[in-house]
Amino acid sequence: KLINDPGASQVLAKLTEAGYEAYLVGGCVRDAVLQRPIKDVDIATSALPEQVMQLFHRTVPTGLQHGTVTVLMAQGTYEVTTFRKEAAYEGFRRPASVEYISDLTEDLKRRDFTMNAMAMDEAGDLLDPFGGQEDLTAGVLRCVGVAEERFGEDALRMLRCIRFASTYDLEIEASTWQALLANAPLLRHIAMERVRSELQRMVEGPAPARAVRLLLASGLLGHLKKQLPLPFEAWLAWDVALDAVSALDEQHDRWAMLLMLLEVPADVVRAALQELTFSRADGLAVAGVLALREAVAAQIIEEDPAPLERVWKLGAVRSGEAAARALLRLLRELPQGDGKRGELARFMGVAAPALLRRGEVWLKEVPCFSLKALAISGEDVATALDRQPGPWMGQLLQGLLERAALGEIPNEREALIYAAQAAK
Ligand code: ATP
Ligand code: MG
């Protein structure tokens, strides 16, 4: 038996004993066939949602508009969805309403790819009317039915196509790829949140470089220009660096690397991430790394990289220690000096080698990166100078912080108060 999940078996058994049909479907069957770890187990059944709710003690109507009831078992939760076909597609998205049917094959037919349109019964037998297993064995990703129609019904499937091709290392079958190229303009109808979720899974998956290359070849991202005015073609010039992305473990680092290669201002990147519905914290973390590189690069002139230590330490205080460490991780993975031109290539040639040699040590020398780590507070300063708190205080403290970070004043209370008085 390919799927050994006692909870799922119990759900299937109970449904079939009550006279309904019930099967494991979708991603869990695909992953089982591939002998990969299974994430969530989805079940399809001929029972109607209210019948499912009557049959099991603990259920939650998580998606009644799609015919989905979540069944809670001791082993975990299972999404049980009534066989359905989708009512007419509207606006190139999956429709909100569904029509229940009694036939499994009809249900499998509405699914996106052959490998996602397999089912498994209680006995562990595979039901595979569209040849998903054969395609998987051949390493082929193919739409169920006529690809041209499937992408027209739901444009999100084009991103899923590239996501699956990259994360499962599959070749996209020719007519599926042709249909994707033909329907690419429809991507603009898809909500940014769903676009983001797919892109995130590509970037965070095992083969981000392949995903990027497929995205570029498909022209999909170009159809999001209104929301994401970024020069994605710039990636074409950084082929080796694209391959380096998967060497980065942290997801923020991967995004920062990819976006750094576009060579646009950090502000533009921050706006794009916001447009993609990333959280504010994610946006700041990623764009912060680019802002730091930008700040350092702006002050380093080719002939005279001498003041790099000062610029680096100040930049690290302004952007934060985390951003500085992240930038070093990116630089370590970026191939240097392969004859490219442009601002980033120049930075890689001049400042990056020195940062790679000394950046880490310089960070260790910085005694404090934030006002919280500074040995005096705003209150201390106000008392010492006998002044009312006000905007002046923040500026003064920031000045003290930066001097302490550079080692010009020790990060000690007495010395800092003395410096505050002198600064006044
Ligand atoms: P994973 O969870 O690893 O992303 P999955 O295949 O389980 O993969 P889900 O989004 O969880 O993907 O969807 C479950 C199943 O629903 C899919 O296997 C597929 O059969 C079907 N499905 C999901 N999204 C679509 C879609 N946009 N068009 C057609 N069928 C879809
Ligand atoms: Mg799933």
Q: What pLDDT tens digit does each residue of the chain (424 aa) get?
A: 678 899 999 999 999 999 999 999 999 999 999 999 998 999 999 999 999 999 999 999 999 989 999 999 999 999 999 999 987 778 888 877 788 999 999 999 999 999 999 999 999 999 999 999 999 999 999 999 999 999 999 999 999 999 999 999 999 999 999 999 999 999 999 999 999 999 999 999 999 999 999 999 999 999 999 999 999 999 998 888 899 999 999 999 999 999 999 999 999 999 999 999 999 999 999 999 999 999 999 988 777 766 899 999 999 999 999 999 999 999 999 876 566 778 898 898 889 999 999 999 999 999 999 999 999 999 999 999 999 988 899 999 999 999 999 999 999 999 999 999 998 6
The residue whose CA has the least distance to atom 12 of ligand 1 is: 27
267-312: pLDDT as tens digits: 999 999 999 999 999 999 999 999 999 999 998 877 776 689 999 9
Query: Cα(79)–Cα(69) distance, rounded to whole angstroms?
Result: 6
Residue 301 DSSP class: B
Count of C-beta atoms within a 10 Å radius of residue 18: 14
Per the listing, tokens 């998580």 go with: 62
Q: How far apart are the CA of 113 and the centre of ligand 1, in A?
A: 9
Q: Is the ipTM of this complex over 0.95?
A: yes
In short, whether 42's Cβ falls inside 6 Å of ligand 1 is: yes
Q: How far is CA 240 from its chain centroid?
A: 21
Torsion of CA 80, 82, 87, 91, to 10 degrees: 0
Q: Six-digit token pair at 360? A: 């880490």
Per the listing, tokens 């040590």 go with: 361
Q: Which of 79, 111, 194, 195 to mutate to test the pocket of ligand 1 (most atoms within 8 A of CB)?
A: 111
The residue among 355, 413, 343, 347 whose CA lies nearest residue 379 is 413
Query: Cα(148)–Cα(189) distance, rounded to whole angstroms?
Result: 17
Q: Which CATH architecture has domain 139-227?
A: Orthogonal Bundle (1.10)
In short, whether 198's Cβ falls inside 6 Å of ligand 1 is: no
Full-model pTM: 0.93
What is the predicted pLDDT for the residue at 327?
98
For domain 371-423, give the CATH number: 1.10.246
Domain locations along the chain: 1-129, 139-227, 247-366, 371-423
What is the predicted pLDDT for the residue at 305?
66
CB 336 within 8 A of CB 348: yes
Q: How far apart are the CA of 413 and the centre of ligand 2, in A?
A: 56
The residue among 230, 13, 243, 27 whose CA lies nearest residue 136 is 27
H-run or E-run covering 217? helix 208-218
Kindly write down the DSSP assignment for every residue of 164-212, as one continuous string. Answer: HHHHTT-EEPHHHHHHHHHHGGGGGGS-HHHHHHHHHHHHHSS-HHHHH
> CA separation (Å) from 396 to 88, 316, 377, 406?
64, 18, 11, 15
What is the predicted pLDDT for the residue at 338?
61
In short, whether 132's Cβ falls inside 6 Å of ligand 1 is: no
The residue whose CA has the least distance to atom 15 of ligand 1 is: 26
- Which ligand 1 atom sits closest to the C-alpha of 26? 18
Question: Has domain 1-129 been given CATH number 3.30.460.10?
Answer: yes
In short, whether 154's Cβ falls inside 6 Å of ligand 1 is: yes
Q: Six-digit token pair at 91? A: 């606006």
Residue 338 DSSP class: S
